[in-house]
Structure 1
Amino acid sequence: MNKTLKKNIGLLHLWLGLASGLIVFIVALSGSLLVFEEELDEFFNPEFYKVTEVKNEKLSVDLIVSKIQKEYHITKIERIHTFHDRERTLIITGTDSNKKDLIFAVNPYTGKVQTSIAEKSRFFSVVLDLHRHLILGEFGKAVTGISCLIFVFMLLSGLILWWPKKLKNLKQRLTVKWSASFKRINWDFHSTFGFYTFLVLLIISLTGLTWSYKWFESGIYLLADGTTKKPSAKVENPTKTDAKINDTFFYQKIFSKTDSIYKFKGDTQIRIPSDTINSLMVIKLNTEKSIPNISSMAYFDKYTGKIIKTKPYESFSNGDKIRRLIYPIHTGSIYGYPTKILAFLVCLFAVTLPITGLLIWTGRKKKKHKQA
C-alpha cells in the first residue's frame, strides 16, 4: 500500500478514535451488560421471573387482568406475556391513570402480583436507553449512530494499519510481547487483540446500525427481497367500534386459539394496539428451535376475538427472516452461551480500545515533545 495513503488512514484512525472514544466506551460497556440481561436480571430479581410453587391449574388470564386493572387503576392493557415454562410468572404491561407504563409479574396460579415496576425505571431499560440513545433521546440516537459508523471505519482502518509489510513479521503481529515495556505491551494489546476480535466486532457494529438508520434496515430488505419496503406487521381491524369487551374469557380464548393454530411449544405474547384501527396481534415464539427469535403471528379482532389472519414464520419474507436474526446476532444469543460468552468478552475488549488508543496517542505526544 502507498505509504502516504497508509499515513493518512493512520491519522483518520487516530483523530476519529479520539473523537468517538467516550461514546464507544459507554456503548461497549453497556452492551457487555446487555449480553447477559436475562440471566443477570433473573439473578437479582428472581420474583419477577419465577413462582415459588407450581400448581396444577392456572387462573384465567382475564381474571388476573381484571384484578390488576382494579387494584392498580390500569386504564389500558398493552401486552400480556405467557410462558411455556410452568415456573415462569405471567407478565402484564399496562398504563395507569397517571399515564405511567408499569410491568407486573404475576403468579398465574394465585393471581398475586409478585412485583411491579415502572417500565422506564427497570435497570436494564435504563442500560438499553444508554446503549442506544445515551439517555438523550433522538440526539443521543444520532450520536451513537455516527459513532457506530466511525467504529466500523476504525475496525477496517485498524486492520489496514495492523497488516505487516512483510510476511516474516506476521508472527510478531499475532502475539503480545508481555516481557516488553508497558508502552509496547499496550500497543501490542490494542493491535493484536484488535485483529483477533475484528470479525466479531465488525458483525456486532454492522448489525447495530439497524437500530440507528432506516436506510441500513431498508438495505437488508433490498438485498433479501428486492424491495426497500418492509412488510407491515399490522393488520387493520374489521370491526369499527370502540365497544367494551363483554366476554369474561376473551384473552384466554385467544391464547387457546393461538395454541391450536401453532402447536409447537413456545412463549406467547398478546399485543393490544392503542388505536381503534389495528387489530390485536399475537406472537408465539417457537422455543423448540435451536435458533432464537423464530416466531409465528396471528391477528384477532380486538372487539370480538375472531381470528382475522395467520402468519406462520414460514410465510415471512427473506428480509423479515434476516431482520429477526439481527437481534440474536447482535447480542450474541444466536447459538446460546458459547456465542454469548464470545460477544461478552469481545465487548469487554472493545471497552479497552479507547483507553489503549488514548495511551498510544499520549505516548507519541511525549516522544515528539522529548525529540523537540
Structure 2
Amino acid sequence: MRFSKIVKNIHLYLGLSCGILASVSGLTGAMYVWQPEITATLNPELLKVDAITNISEETLLKTSLTLYENQKDSVAKIFLPYREQQTISVIYTNDKTLYYHPENGRILGQKSASIAFFENLLNIHRTLGIPKIGKYVVGGSAVLFFVFLLTSGLFLWWKKYKFNFKKGIKIKWKRNRKRFNYDVHKTLGILFFLPLLLMAFSGAYFTYVTYYKEGFKLMDRVTEITPTEEMVKMGDTLDINYLLENPDKHYALRAIYFPQNSNEGYQFRFIKNRFIGPGLRKTKELKLDQNGRVISITSFDSDPLSEQIAAQMYPIHIGEITGFLGRILVFVSGFIPVILFITGLRFYYFSKQKVNNRR
C-alpha cells in the first residue's frame, strides 16, 4: 500500500511539472511531422522541379561542383535534393541561403519565411529556444517522461485493471465531470503508452547521443557485419572535385559541409534514398581534413549493429520508419501529452476540492 502511494505521488508531481515540457514537445513535434509536405506546398518555386527522378546523380553532382567553383570561399554548406527539397540549396558564410535548379544551376530564390518558421519550430522542439542548456532540459524531461511518468502510470493502471482490461480502456461519456475526466486520462494513457514511450525514448537520444551509443554497443555481439567495398579508404587523399565527379556506387550525396575555421575539415553526408519512404534509414559519412586526407568513414552497410540502431532514432521518432500510417500515429500521439496534462491537472484539482470539502 505504501509503495503504491509513492508511485502515485511520483506520477502526480512529475505529471504536473514534466507534463508541461512534454506537452510543448508533443505539440511542436506533431506540427513538425508534416513539415515536408507543408513547406513543399508553400514553396514550390524553391523546392520543386519537374521530373526530378529523371535528373541523374552525375548531373546533380556536376551542378553542385559548378556552384562551388563559382563561389568557393563564400560557401559554408551545400545541400543536394533530400526529403521535400528537390533543388540544391547553398548556405553561405554570411548565413544567407539560396536555392538553385539541380539541372542547370539557375537561381530560384532565397529562404522563405515558412521554411524559417519550421526551422525555428524544430529548435523549440529540441531546445525550447534556450541556448546551451535547452537541449538538456528537453532531453532530461523526455527521460523522466518515459522512465518514471509513463511507467508509473502503467503500474497504477495495471494494479487497478489487471483483471478487467475492458473497463481499463473504456470511457463512460455520461458521467460526472470528475469520473469522465479520469476515464479520459487513464484510457488515453494506456492506449498511447507504447507510441509515447518510443517517442520519448528516441527523442532523448538527440540530447544523450554518446550514452545511447554506448548502451547500443551491448548489441554488437549479436551479429557480424560484412564490410562492403568502398570507393575511398582511411588515409586516402582526395579533393572535392574527385568526389563530385565520381558518384558513390551505393549512396546518394545529400550534403557537403566546408571548413569554417582551422580546426574543421570537410564533411560529406550520403543517404541511400533521397526522398521520404518507409523502412530503415541508411546513411554514410565521410570526413576529410583540410589537406584532403580521409580521417573518418562510416557506412550503414559496414557499421556495427549499435550504429545501425542509432541511425533509426530519427525515423522512429517521427514515425517515418513505418510509412504514412506511422507519421499519422506520431501526429495524433503528439496531442496526447497535453490532454494527459490537462486531465491530470483537473484530477488534482478535484482531489484537492474533495479534501477541502471534508475539512
Sort the TM-score into its range (normalised by shorter chain).
0.7 to 0.9
Residue matched to 1:63? 66
Q: Which moved more, 1:199-208 or 1:178-187?
A: 178-187
CA contact (8 A) 1:293 1:328 kept: yes
Work out which of the residue numbers 283, 288, 303 in structure 1 matches 2:269: 283
Distance 2:201 2:84 in 1: 37
Deviation of 1:130 after TM superposition, in Å, equals 0.8
Deviation of 1:79 after TM superposition, in Å, equals 2.2
1:267 to 1:176, Cα distance in 2 relative to 1, 3 A: farther
3-state SS of 2:125 partner: helix
Unaligned runs of 5+ in 1: 227-234, 240-244
Distance 2:84 2:2 in 1: 64
Unaligned runs of 5+ in 2: 222-232
CA contact (8 A) 2:65 2:244 kept: no
Work out which of the residue numbers 291, 294, 316 in structure 2 matches 1:329: 316
Deviation of 1:360 after TM superposition, in Å, equals 0.9
CA contact (8 A) 2:39 2:115 kept: no
Q: Does 1:178 align with 2:173?
A: yes
Residue matched to 1:232? none
Deviation of 1:81 after TM superposition, in Å, equals 2.4
1:150 to 1:300, Cα distance in 2 relative to 1, 3 A: closer
Distance 2:336 2:314 in 1: 21
Deviation of 1:141 after TM superposition, in Å, equals 2.1
Write the deviation string for residues 103-162 of structure 1: whole angstroms up to 9, x where unpaired: 222113343332323999811221111111111112322322232122121100001111
Query: Per chain length, whose mean CA-contact separation is higher, i.e. which structure has more relative contact order (CA < 8 Å, sep 6+)?
Result: 2
Write the deviation string for residues 337-369 of structure 1: whole angstroms up to 9, x where unpaired: 111111111111122111111111111112222
Residue matched to 1:229? none
1:127-142 matched pairs, under 5 angstroms: 127-142=121-136
Q: Which moved more, 1:144-153 or 1:285-294?
A: 285-294
- State the superposition RMSD in angstroms: 3.4
Work out which of the residue numbers 277, 302, 306 in structure 2 matches 1:315: 302
Write the deviation string for residues 31-66 of structure 1: whole angstroms up to 9, x where unpaired: 111222212221222233113687987773233335
Deviation of 1:214 after TM superposition, in Å, equals 4.8
CA contact (8 A) 1:80 1:93 kept: yes
Residue matched to 1:242? none
Residue matched to 1:103? 97
Work out which of the residue numbers 184, 188, 192 in structure 1 matches 2:187: 192
The alignment's TM-score, normalised by the length of structure 1, stands at 0.79
Q: How many corresponding residue pairs?
A: 340
Work out which of the residue numbers 339, 349, 356 in structure 2 matches 1:352: 339
Letter in 2 for 1:331: I
3-state SS of 1:340 partner: helix
1:134-213 matched pairs, under 5 angstroms: 134-152=128-146, 153-165=148-160, 167-213=162-208
Letter in 2 for 1:36: W
Residue matched to 2:243? 254
Letter in 1 for 2:283: S
3-state SS of 1:180 partner: coil
Residue matched to 1:295? 283
CA contact (8 A) 1:286 1:295 kept: yes
Distance 1:354 1:168 in 2: 27
1:66 to 1:135, Cα distance in 2 relative to 1, 3 A: same
Residue matched to 2:230? none
Percent of matched pairs sharing the same residue: 26
The alignment's TM-score, normalised by the length of structure 2, stands at 0.82
Deviation of 1:219 after TM superposition, in Å, equals 3.4
1:28-47 matched pairs, under 5 angstroms: 28-47=26-45
3-state SS of 1:163 partner: helix
CA contact (8 A) 2:37 2:84 kept: no
Letter in 2 for 1:366: Q
